[in-house]
Chain A
Amino acid sequence: MAEFKTSLRESEEFSIVELSGYLDAHTAPDLESAFTGLIDQNKYKVVVNFKDLEYISSAGLGVFMAYIETMRENNGDIKLVEMKPAVYGIFDLLGFPLLYDILDDEKDALNKFKQQGA
């Protein structure tokens, strides 16, 4: 099983978190701590890149639900980009696109942030 990994980089004022591997109940705490780390630094504008994420379970989805709300309460957001069709299918079925921004790529996400900021 592909190990779950998160890596963080900065682009302008935004934080970009790249995910890879399997996000499930066992690896969800890793993602939580990544988000907590960002909150500690008062970074609330986050883009999560799903390019290398193979699978997400309900526990993984729960992490996004909780932290998107936190970011939004602080005038930020988590934008989800570059999902594989299978992963998007899971988000879609659950109704994520109705509530959260799922976009094609990072550029779209950054533009969306800028529009919202303006």
Chain B
Amino acid sequence: MQISTFIKNRYLALGVAGFIALSILRTIFISGNDTGSILILESFSVLILFLLVSESIKVTSSVKMLPTWLVTSMLVLVFSGIFLKLLFNSIESLFPVSNIDYGKTISLELLPLIFIFNAATIILSVASLVIFRHLFFLKQSKNLNIYFNAMLIFIALASFTSFLGTKEYESMEFLTITFYVVATILIFMNSLKISWIAFLKKKQKRQLLLISVLLIGMHIFYLAMNPNDSTYYNLLSGFSHSFYRFNNIMTVYGIIYFSVLFFTTLFHLPTAEAFDRRTKEISSLQYFSKLINQVFDPKELSDTISELGADVSGADASWLILFSGTNRVEGIKGTGFVTSEKITNFIRKKQDLTTVKKIVMGDLKEFYRSEITDEQYAIVYLVPMVSYSKCHGILVLLKKDAVEYDDEEKNIIQTFADYASVAIENSYLLKESIEKERLEKEFDVAREMQQKILPEKLPVFENYEVAAVFIPAFEVGGDYYDFFTLPNGITGFVIADVSGKGISAAFVMAELKGILESFSTVKWSPKEILVEANYVLKRILDRRVFSTAVFGTFNPKTGEVIIARAGHCPVLHKTAEGIIERVPSGFGLGMNYTELFGEKLVEEKFILKEDESIVLYTDGVNEMKNEQMKDFGTERLKSLVSSNEDIGMNELALKIISDLTEFAGTKPQHDDITLMILKRNNPEKK
């Protein structure tokens, strides 16, 4: 609010001019104490008051006033009023003003003095009324204009009719008394509208209690300073009765208002703390709702936390140090990147950030001893951001002034930081779950690929039984089995296990299928096929990826089986004498691409006799774990094979799987399980 706005306001200027005119009028012309003169004089006075009051209200109405500021101004006003009276009392003897009264023209030489004191008194009274009005409308949800205006009307009436209190109009005195009483009652009623005190902090309420006692005392003192026979009384009421009455009513208003305020505040005090907490919660909640919308973008979240952190704390600069990743500095507000880096490094030297458990304050004098910059921060606060007992980082707050936060402010900042860390935690969780969903999608693709790669149907041979079971693990391993027809008409079979999991393993598997498929159309030796495959895989495989495999050929007429094993699990050959583990030498595909692979790979040839079978499997079977982390083991598999002689091979495969499941118990399956069984039947048994 600027002085110029006051001056620009025409009505206000008119009021002031009117007041000057009235003074001159009163001094020079109006001297009679006849009713006509008095009415003119008082009407004029009240009109001037009306203009001053209404226009001051209009001018100040758009300004948002804080209650503490208003009450403090009140203190200044009353103090000025008392000072004015004391000043007057000290110089009163110099001037013969004691006989100012109606019927007497005020002499010209007294005019400046009378003008100054009257004007000052009236300005103070008007200002008081404006402040009371502002206080009245603070935090009011309903439109209460009518109550206040009614009060104003009665104050005006009481002021206007105050001349009836003089001896000459004794018979009419009841009228002005009535107006006065009604005005006082309305003042009292309007004084009860002080809901704004509920919004003060406890500390402010305690201060308010003191100030209101002081204000009551000062108002009473002010009132007592000019009894009806004092010179000051004459100065005011002799000039205009309305002015005096108005001043008087304002003083009474002050006493009533601040008495009510005092008692109300007193009763509010015990609940102040709970109220404080609630308002703090509500405001934090607002911040929280702002934060929660940002969790999708971690960068934006950091910016918001930093910005709101500075808002909440009133800091001049702020940023975050997040512990995840590379301890990075994010969301720099109020300063530059270089400054924040330098100060962060300085802080790191002074304090192990991971040990910060509550708000820590430090001063930056030492920092600026070696740094010359334009920006000078006095103190720094480190606020840990903790949620679920995990500290996600530090909110750094810098202040240019060295005024430290009190406990309440620290509480608010900490509450905010706690919410912020929840938001950070959520953003991490969200990121994780998006990542997880992506992985699950990948698994779906891999699983689908795997299913498509595996043969749809098993080959059928006279006098032979073929069974195969494949159970993918949740994470999808790289198991693969297949059958081929070789150029010499003989059947080829393969079982393989690509290292690693997920989509990459599934891809390698698909490549392997393609490679084997094409070589099996031109070669018929298992060893040759694997050596060629190894050579081709060189271009495809990552250094740490390899695949084990057993490639075999099988002649249904003779029962001749030739196998080559590239690092894979043994082939179990069940004979009448027991199970033979066929483990010819050879290392995994993709482990070495030199001649060494072929040199070490040895073919093994044997005849599958009637009633004999071979069992091929992947390490998902023997490495299946139970709750005690024990392996299922090859021995258990072998005993299952040898003890179930008379059942079909499909049945045997299912039996093995159910035993595996039973063994594992609640332990989840980590790797694909593949079983392939080939049995030569005895035609005479049927």
Chain A residues near B (Cβ < 8 Å): 1, 24-25, 54-55, 57-59, 61-63, 65-66, 69, 86, 90, 93-96, 98-99
Contact = CB atoms under 8 A, between A and B. Distances in A.
A58 B591 contact: no
A98 B596 CA distance: 9
B629 interface: yes
Given A59-B499, A93-B569, A99 B596 contact: yes
Nearest to A58: B499
A62 B596 contact: no
Contacts of A57: 671
B544 interface: yes
Contacts of B548: 93-94
Given A1-B629, A98-B596, A61 B500 contact: no
Given A1-B629, A65-B543, A94-B548, A99 B569 contact: no
Contacts of B596: 98-99
B587 A95 contact: yes
A25 B501 contact: yes
A63 B548 CA distance: 16
21 contacts: A24-B670, A25-B500, A55-B629, A59-B501, A59-B544, A61-B499, A61-B546, A62-B499, A62-B543, A62-B545, A65-B591, A66-B542, A93-B548, A93-B570, A95-B567, A95-B585, A95-B588, A98-B585, A98-B587, A98-B596, A99-B592
A4 to B, nearest CB: 13
B631 A86 contact: yes
Say whether chain B's binding surface is mostly helix, strand, loop, or mixed.
loop
Interface centre among A61, A62, A90, A96 (most CB of B within 10 A): A62
A99 B497 CA distance: 20
Interface in B540-589: 542-546, 548, 566-570, 583, 585-588
Given A65-B546, A99-B592, 10 more contacts: A25-B500, A58-B500, A58-B619, A61-B546, A66-B543, A93-B570, A95-B566, A95-B585, A98-B596, A99-B591
> Which 4 pairs from chain A and chain B are nearest by CB?
A95-B587, A62-B544, A58-B499, A66-B543
B586 A95 contact: yes
Contacts of A61: 499, 546
A22 to B, nearest CB: 8
A94 B629 contact: no
Nearest to A69: B543
A76 B63 CA distance: 81
A117 B14 CA distance: 110
B342 interface: no
A70 to B, nearest CB: 8
Contacts of A94: 546, 548, 567, 587-588, 591
A58 B569 contact: no
Interface string B488-510: 00000000010111000000000
B546 A62 contact: yes
A68 to B, nearest CB: 10
Interface centre among B543, B569, B590 (most CB of A within 10 A): B543
A6 B544 CA distance: 19
A90 B623 CA distance: 10
Interface centre among B543, B569, B591 (most CB of A within 10 A): B591
Contacts of A25: 500-501
B52 to A, nearest CB: 82
B591 A95 contact: yes
B600 interface: yes
Contacts of A93: 548, 567-570, 583
Given A94-B588, A95-B587, A63 B600 contact: no
A95 B543 contact: no
Contacts of A54: 629
Contacts of B568: 93
A54 B630 CA distance: 11
Contacts of A86: 631
A82 to B, nearest CB: 20
